[in-house]
A and B are shown apart, each in its own frame.
Chain A
Amino acid sequence: MNRRSEVLLWGAQRASAALLALCVVVHLVTMIYAVRSGLSAAEILGRTQGNIGWLIFYAVFVAAVAVHAPIGLRTILAETFNWRSRGLDVFAGAAALTLLMWGMRAVIAVFGGGAA
């Protein structure tokens, strides 16, 4: 990967980190509050089902994670195993797509699922 792309990844890692910091604070507060009386589908879906605000929040959260985590994994693999070939970039790209798809599936599930 050329230097310009490395700089872009560095910037994307930091920008997604800043966004994730906000998302994680909201997520932590929500979790700490939600587990007070035990987790249940009714509690989770009662909060998220049909709620556009939570849909947007979790969609942004997942998108930021799908950018942030694969870049971090790529750095760890490159530094730990000295893996710096094209295969590493393919792996990171595949990880990003997988997280994005699985994450969005989960977002859709808690927004619109639970009816059955």
Chain B
Amino acid sequence: MKNDFRARSHPAYWAFIVHRMSGLLLALFLPLHFWALGQALHGAAQLDGFLRWTEHPLVKFAETGLVLLLAAHMTGGLRLLALEFLEWHEWQKTLLAAAAGVALVAGLAFLLNLV
């Protein structure tokens, strides 16, 4: 039990949770994303009709969350690829913080441009 608790309080465990949850949520979002873009098949007006809905503040908030999830999944995935395929170096310990930082920057840049 003690080992379990210690493992789960480690930042790498939270990186695992973030990677897994972001991947799951992005996979669930993809069909909606593809459906929305598919509206263009019925004309620009149809796509615009959908895009007007995205002007709602709550939708903008959700969009920012999705961008953050996408960025976090990408940077977390790059960290995993570096851990799995590169020879071990001390700097790899800092990848977790770098992954979180880059993801936050992407999310904030999107939010600042969106509002």
Binding site for B on A (CB under 8 A): 14, 17-18, 20-21, 24-25, 27-28, 31-33, 35-36, 38-42, 44-45, 65, 69, 72-73, 76, 98-99, 102-103, 105-106, 108-110, 113-116
Contact = CB atoms under 8 A, between A and B. Distances in A.
Contacts, number: 113
Interface of B: 20, 23-24, 26-27, 30-31, 33-48, 51, 54-55, 67, 70-71, 73-74, 77-78, 80-81, 84-85, 106, 109-110, 113-114
B81 A32 contact: no
Given A40-B48, A45-B44, A113-B40, A14 B35 contact: no
Contacts of B46: 116
Nearest to A108: B41
A77 to B, nearest CB: 10
A76 B31 CA distance: 18
Contact of A109 (B20, B26, B30, B41): B41
Tell me whether chain B's interface is mostly helix, strand or loop, or mixed. helix
Given A41-B44, A41-B51, A106 B38 contact: yes
B30 A69 contact: yes
B106 A45 contact: no
Contacts of A113: 40-43, 47
Contacts of B34: 99, 102-103, 105-106
A108 B10 CA distance: 45
